[in-house]
A and B are shown apart, each in its own frame.
Chain A
Amino acid sequence: MQEHIQLTQKEINRELLRGIFVWPKWWFASVSFLILVFLVGAGAFGYMINKGVGVTGLNRPVFWGVYMVNFVFWIGISHAGIMISAILRLTQAEWRRPITRAAEVLTVFSLMGAMFAAALVHTGRPWRAYWVFPYDFSRGVWMNVRSPLIWDPSAVNTYLIASSLFVFVALLPDLAIVRDRSRGWVRVMYSFMCLGWRGTPRQWKLQAVAGILLSALVLPVFVSVHSIVSWDFAVQIGTEGWHSTIFAPYFIIGAIHSGVSAVVTVMVLMVWLWKWDNYLRPDHFDAIGRLLIVVATTWFFFFFLEWVFALYTLEGPEIALRELQIFDWPMSGLFGLFLATAFFIPVPLWLFKRVRRNLLLMFLTTLLVNVGMWLERFLIIVPALLRKSPMIFDWGTYRPSIIEIFMVTAVFAWVTLGMLIFSKVFPLLPLFDIKESMVGRDEIKIGRRTVPASIRE
């Protein structure tokens, strides 16, 4: 990192704890607005429970609409944390340090949002959500383990637990710092949460080992979650466009594309809102921009394969579906928008270093990616159901109702709200990690050039 700024530990504490101890006006305004949006969504949810799912646009044959799209989208975003934290930690990428916490927290709130979108809303009868658990031994009722809809909650819950642990373990040293700077009941609360952290060599060693172990263990969970979400669709043989072997890797790489883009969006917001530009330097955006080029290109390759093999089948219904996606309005418009925003606008722009180092452009392009990735899920799910299939006597169109739009918006509000509230209670930038990088950082003179260096074991 050529643009490194060396700061003292006191300066780091002061600047990074500002998020907790200072209450800016924009924070109250944003949180109030988001709570309002969330409450509107909750009201819409209550209304749907009271009146039934008929108040949505869902009907024969489109039973899976924007709720399902939302579920897949937020599961996708949740892949950011592990991609950034676990993989970059295992590969010892130095530039990961200021980004990891925000990415991990985004994972946790996205997963909660996905569970809200799927378990509580999408099922239509949330009071029966416990049916996915083995709840009644005496009656001999057992959930159907052959159903992907049972695999989903198992995978998502495991991922949520693992991600929360991941965040918590990495938080311990920082919680102790907050504890030492607070008083009264707040101090008691942080004392309780930091589990008696004193910073002894043994505690540091255990914390480091736990981080590496969790990184390695959470990776298979991370892969399994979106694979299983993709199998909700791919194991079916009755719906054109879904039964494809490529779905698991295609969903995973799409999730990483979407998730890492979301992390960049959050990074820019952290610089703009908390003025943490001493920590999130243009180099960080440059590095993550280069990563995004690789991820996006790989995603596009899988997208290409998915399309090639859809046409390769030479099956009438499959080709008719593809024609619906790219030639029939409004799907054709959405398809064009999806391709432009998910790949053709951002990736060529990211090829330029000046763009990768420009916060505003990175903010806009990564937002575009997520518009595109949301549309991608919509275009996978809805057109496939719209078409008339052999065993269906109804076909028609689908238009999300205002109730669905409120609830989808509420999930967006929930994730943003969660991030904002988290940032008031916990440090959003990992203090100990940044201090460690400051201590382990050095420079080497080679001729007239100075090359950044770091201590290696």
Chain B
Amino acid sequence: MQQKPSLMTNGASHAEHALATPASITSDLLEKHATPASAFRWVALLCTVLVVLGVVGVVLRMSDGVSDKTVWGYYAALFVFILSTAQAAPMVAIATRLAKGHWRRPISRIAEMFTAVGVLNLLLFIPLLWVLPSLEDGRRSLWFFGNRDIPGYGYAPHLWATLALLFLVIGGIAMLWVSCLPDLAAIRDHSTGRRQRIARRMARGWQGTTRQWEMLDRRVGILGAYYFMMLVFVHFLISVDFAIALVPGWIDALFPATQAFTSLQGGAATVLLTMIVLRKAGYREYIELDQFWSLGKLLMAMSLLWFWFWFSSFNILWYGRKPNEQAVLDLFITGPYFWMFITTFMLNFVVPFFLMIWNPIRKSIWGPTLVASGVLIGTLLDRVRIYVAAFSIPGEDAAAHLLEQSPETVTPELADILIWAGGLGGVVLVFMLVARLVPVISIWEQTELLLYKVHKKFHRTEVLVLGKPE
């Protein structure tokens, strides 16, 4: 579509550069999907190598056995990091769809595709079930509050946490699949051979009838709400049984909510970084300034909330001067992980807030990308700080009321580095595999936008009128 110079906007592009007709958008995105960028194979190969290295790392770690949980701290941190970034990324699609923000359309599929990473994380979770000691060691648990007579006690927390994670992954993949149905039908109708066969099977007879569209709208909404609630619930279970319960004297009712919230920040940062990569990979005319600007504003708001969540906990633990709470602060903030905490504080709060407060930085492509990179590093360090520290507490202290002395800083070993490289490579690889199955930009959401967008004359200027369906 030709750019109208008189269009009154406040700097937003409103995807004016995107192709103008549903047919041209469909054919362009299908072509991009069928012929990925030249670097695709090389990146996939690199990620595969990393995954292999990661498997070697896991084998090395397994060879140490599961009785000493201290050495598994970095492994647990990786699991929670993926839970807090890739598995939280779909919230960008869910929340913005709920708020009916049109700017979400080019990025909602990107966010939803990360639900598939849950499968990898579910596999990563399995060894942790053996590493986490049973409740026989006398430590506290969320479950049944120490009452061993209650049926099901023996399965806690291992079974319940696994089931919750499993249902999160299933719900996420179901949401991705449902939201891809129209695009799979488009692939079915415009391709041949194996691609067509796979698409036909996955599209489940999608014809685009009114009833099918209504069902799609409803199912995506319900599955989105379900995913959000399960994500929060999983964070609640993991944060309590894999962090709080391991540290004697750590009673922090806010921590599960803090971890769940900061994962939303991590999820937004993950989507932002993926957006910049996809811009380079040929989707420049779809992923524009609007998406970076809007997500950047969310990141700024979340950085303020990060501080508030942190301070709400810190203030109570610090002000009371209770010995058990002072010990917790020493372990996580002032003691062996002091510099890690300071870096997290800077990257998750200070830098995002004080950079993004400036219009030229917020309203740019490089600004939010830079901040998102920092947020991801900050989130990584934060999860390492919490989980490595929690796992480093000796097992015999589990039932104590107070941590007498903070353990030394645990540094990563070769196995940990390999596991982390494999885990991060695995996340990228899973995303790339999904990108071979479905288009990374939602075709139907892009074409739907054309229906809701009209240019109209308004006094002496021309304005954009955007429809908002109920």
Which residues of A are in contact with B by a Cβ distance under 8 Å?
Answer: 2, 91, 94, 220, 223, 227, 231, 234-237, 243-249, 301-302, 305-306, 308-314, 442-444, 446, 451-457
Contacts and interface: CB of A to CB of B under 8 A. Distances in A.
B288 to A, nearest CB: 15
Contacts of B256: 305
B470 A312 contact: no
A247 B452 contact: no
B123 interface: no
A348 to B, nearest CB: 15
Interface string B9-25: 11010100000000000
B257 A454 contact: no
B312 A245 contact: yes
A454 B319 CA distance: 50
Contact of A235 (B253, B257, B319): B319
A446 B467 contact: yes
A305 B254 contact: yes
B253 A246 contact: yes
Nearest to B260: A301
Interface string B306-322: 00110011011101111
A248 B315 CA distance: 10
A453 B253 contact: no
A457 B304 contact: no
Nearest to B451: A446
Interface stretch (B63-71, B403-411, B417-425, B456-464): B456-464
B255 A245 contact: yes
B308 A227 contact: yes
B271 to A, nearest CB: 19
Interface string B49-90: 000000000000000000000000000000000000000000
Interface in B1-52: 8-10, 12, 14
Contacts of A91: 99
B252 interface: yes
A443 B451 CA distance: 12
B389 to A, nearest CB: 17
B304 A220 contact: yes
Nearest to A92: B101
B312 A451 contact: no
A444 B304 CA distance: 38
Nearest to A244: B253
B464 A234 contact: no
Interface string B218-253: 000000000000001000100010000000000111
Q: Interface of chain A, helix or strand or loop or mixed?
A: mixed
A314 B9 CA distance: 59
Contacts of A306: 253
A456 B142 CA distance: 49
Contacts of A227: 308, 312
- The residue among B8, B252, B257 with the most chain A CB atoms within 10 A of its own CB is B257
A281 B245 CA distance: 50
A245 B451 contact: no
Contacts of B308: 223, 227, 248-249
Contacts of B198: none
B405 to A, nearest CB: 22
B316 A451 contact: no
Contact of A453 (B8, B304, B309, B468): B468
B163 interface: no
B116 to A, nearest CB: 27
A91 B298 CA distance: 11
24 contacts: A227-B308, A235-B316, A237-B322, A244-B316, A245-B312, A245-B313, A245-B316, A246-B253, A248-B254, A248-B308, A249-B308, A249-B312, A308-B253, A309-B253, A312-B145, A442-B456, A444-B451, A446-B451, A453-B452, A453-B465, A454-B465, A454-B468, A455-B464, A457-B10
A313 B245 CA distance: 11
B129 interface: no
Contacts of B14: 456
B277 interface: no
A248 B312 contact: yes
Given A235-B319, A244-B316, A451-B467, 4 more contacts: A235-B315, A246-B312, A248-B254, A446-B467
B360 interface: no
Contacts of B383: none
B316 A243 contact: yes
Q: Interface of chain B, helix or strand or loop or mixed?
A: mixed
A245 B452 contact: no
B320 A453 contact: no
A454 B454 CA distance: 10
Nearest to A220: B304
B313 A312 contact: no
Contacts of A245: 252-255, 312-313, 316-317
Contacts, number: 117
A309 B245 CA distance: 11
A231 B315 contact: yes
A372 B291 CA distance: 41
B454 A453 contact: yes
A235 B312 CA distance: 10
B140 A444 contact: no
A446 B469 CA distance: 10
A235 B145 CA distance: 25
B146 interface: yes
A442 B465 contact: yes
A452 B467 contact: yes
A20 to B, nearest CB: 31
B469 A451 contact: yes
Nearest to B470: A2
Nearest to B9: A457
B466 interface: yes
B285 to A, nearest CB: 20
B466 A454 contact: yes
A249 B306 CA distance: 12
A395 B317 CA distance: 28
Contacts of A248: 254, 308, 312, 315
A456 B316 contact: no
B253 A451 contact: no
Interface in B416-470: 451-452, 454, 456, 458, 463-470
B345 to A, nearest CB: 17
B464 A302 contact: no
Contacts of B451: 444, 446
B458 A455 contact: yes
Nearest to A235: B319
B315 A312 contact: no
A434 B467 CA distance: 19
Contacts of B467: 443-444, 446, 451-453
Nearest to A308: B142
A2 B468 CA distance: 10
Q: Which 9 A-B pairs have the closest CB atoms?
A: A309-B253, A246-B253, A457-B10, A453-B467, A248-B312, A451-B467, A444-B467, A245-B254, A245-B313
Contacts of A246: 253-254, 257, 312
A246 B322 CA distance: 17
A248 B261 CA distance: 15
A284 to B, nearest CB: 13
Contacts of B240: 312
A220 B99 CA distance: 22
Given A451-B452, A451-B467, A454-B468, A305 B257 contact: yes
Nearest to A87: B301
A388 to B, nearest CB: 21
Nearest to A234: B316
A236 B319 CA distance: 8
Contacts of B463: 455-457
Contacts of B319: 231, 235
Nearest to B312: A248
B157 to A, nearest CB: 13
Contact of A311 (B9, B145, B315, B320): B145
Given A220-B304, A302-B257, A444-B465, A235 B320 contact: yes
Given A301-B232, A309-B253, A456-B465, A237 B317 contact: no
Contacts of B316: 231, 234-235, 243-245, 247
